[in-house]
Amino acid sequence: MCNKKKLLLNCDVCDTRKMKEEDYSGYEKIIINADVVVVNAYSKGVLNRLPVMINQDCTIEIADDIEVELKTVNGSYEITGNTAVQEHTLLVVNGALNIHSGTENTLEKYEKIYVNGSVKYPESLEAYLTKLSVNGSVLVYPDKCVILDNTFIMDKYFTMRAKEGMKYYVESKVIIQDKMVALEKLVQKKVQFITRQIIVPEELAESCVELFDEKAEFVVIPAGMTFHYGDADLNEELLKKEGSNIYVYGDLNVSDDIELEGLSDLITRLIVRGNVALKKTQEKCFRKLNVEYSQLEFKWEGRIIENKPGIRVDKSLLDGSPAKLLVRNAATIKIASDVTPELILERLMIENCAKVFCREEQESAIAAITQNVAKIGESGEDESSGMMEGIKDLRSTNMITADSYIM
């Protein structure tokens, strides 16, 4: 059939059920890289007789006597009571799947459902999802709930729009930022929220207790403080906008050019529900301020080289970097032979790089100052010859790339 010696198949879904052995017997090696491989008893026998290597996340076996309709979705997909589906459908979703209530009859028509992503469905459907396989997160929410955003910021108009006796599901947190929200109206309507966390001003905390069950974590913003949701920069703009009493729900970055010595009169109280990033030279003045935080993180103040395909580090570069050199997000780094192990330990840091090429006597020092580096070692003829072999191997390979492929 084909004069190619090797077959490389890259796809999301590989359906092998109708493959013919004679079509593939001419290959000396067959490599299948797929998220899902669909087999039956017949194709398993064929695959076992061929020189096949399969790299897959999931293998789905279908009975020989069942005619299955394959449906592949790249992106978000919803199953509702009105979803048209044939009997014995195999559904593969590369993305988010949302299964709505009232879909029991629809779910029974699926032979298998595989999701490479996230799945969300109500508790009542648990018994109907035995054929579901998920490579990702699964969210099961209570029935008869209206699903709101994962983080729901309640405004003063929600109290007018909320329905009588309704349950609202919020996966992460409910934030009440506006102190003008009339929570007593929601209590009168017997509204309930199911969520992990509630963030509320102290002035409104007591009036909203009935809206949440005892499992919800209450984060109470002290009375008189301005609430800032998300990360923030400590600078004059923040203080002018938010005032002298600020609650930051996130991390705080202390601007490099801000004069901390003069902030004592501008900051009455600052609470940071996260970490504070600042320069080491700012620490002493910052600790004099009335600030509560999780922990301090000091910014890198030396030289930084980042986001380069290849970088060469030699003695003159390190000698010119007395406050240390940070190299990050590079494909390859070459350490010159004039760099001693002692200089590496004293002046160099490496993060998030694929390969660091160095001499054998430099390897232990490099290993001590690196984070998230895939390979450390010498380069040379072995690597170049390996690259040439790879090119030759590529020339003798028939490569197929597709979303879905039927063999």
387 vs 333: CA distance, rounded Å:
18
Mark whether 60 and 81 lie in a shared domain.
no
pLDDT band at 393 (very low <50, low <70, confident <90, very high): low
Residues 6 or more apart whose CB falls under 8 angstroms from that of 151 comprise 170, 172, 173, 175
Q: Which of 89, 107, 141 lies at the terminal end of a domain, its last residue?
A: 141
- Say if residue 307 is in the same domain as residue 373: yes
Residue 391 lies in a domain: no
Q: Which residue has the higher pLDDT, 257 or 155?
A: 155
Has residue 394 been placed in a domain?
no
* Strand-pair partners of 68: none
Same domain for 57 and 16, yes or no, is yes
Q: Is the pLDDT of residue 355 over 80?
A: yes
Beta carbons within 8 Å of 389's beta carbon, 6+ residues apart:
none
Contact call for residues 39 and 60 (beta carbons, < 8 A): yes
In-domain check, residue 192: yes
Is residue 121 scored above 60 in pLDDT? yes
- Give me the residues paired with residue 121 across strands: 140
Residues 88-103 have a mean pLDDT of 92
- pLDDT at residue number 68: 84
Tell me if 392 is assigned to some domain: no
Q: Please give the model's pTM, rounded to 2 decimal places.
A: 0.65
Residue 391 — very low, low, confident or very high, per pLDDT cuts 50/70/90? Answer: very low
Q: What is the mean pLDDT of residues 131-144?
A: 90
| pLDDT band, very low/low/confident/very high, at 58 (cuts 50, 70, 90) | confident
Q: How high is the pLDDT of residue 360?
A: 92
What percent of the chain clears pLDDT 70, i.e. is strictly above it? 95
Burial label for 144, CB within 10 Å (0-12, 13-18, 19+), is: exposed
Distances from the Cα of 96 to the Cα of 114, 172, 175, 196, 236, angstroms: 11, 17, 25, 22, 42
Contacts 24+ apart (CB under 8 A), 88-93: 90/38, 90/60, 90/62, 90/114, 92/12, 92/13, 92/35, 92/36, 92/116, 93/117
| Residue ending a domain, choose from 176, 194, 220 | 220
> Which of 22, 41, 66 is a domain's end point?
66
pLDDT tens for 204-222 read 999 999 999 888 999 999 9
Whether residue 233 sits in one domain with residue 181:
no
Query: Whole-angstrom Cα distance, residue 392 to residue 248?
Result: 58
Same domain, 150 and 136: no
**Does position 80 have pLDDT exceeding 70, yes or no?**
yes
Is 157 within a domain?
yes
Residues 269, 208 within the same domain? no
Mean pLDDT, the chain, rounded, equals: 89
Rounded to whole angstroms, the Cα distance separating 352 from 308 reads: 12
Measured CA to CA, the distance from residue 326 to residue 353 in angstroms comes to 12
Average pLDDT for 13-32? 90
In a domain, 57, yes or no: yes
- Indicate whether 294 and 230 sit together in one domain: yes
Same domain, 314 and 286: no
User: Angle at CA 177, nearest 5°, toward 175 and 180?
Assistant: 125
Confidence at residue 302, expressed as pLDDT on a 0 to 100 scale: 83
Instruction: Examine the domain organization and report whether 187 and 238 are in the same domain.
Output: no
- 269-272/291-292 β-pairing: parallel
Q: Using CA atoms, how far apart are residues 139 and 79, in angstroms rounded to an integer? A: 15
Q: What pLDDT, on the 0 to 100 scale, is given for residue 173?
A: 95
The structure tokens listed for 312 are 């060469």
Total count of domains within the chain: 5
What pLDDT does residue 151 have?
Answer: 94
pLDDT score recorded for residue 344: 94
Does a structural domain hold residue 402?
no
Domain membership flag for residue 398? no
Range of the domain at 31: 6-66
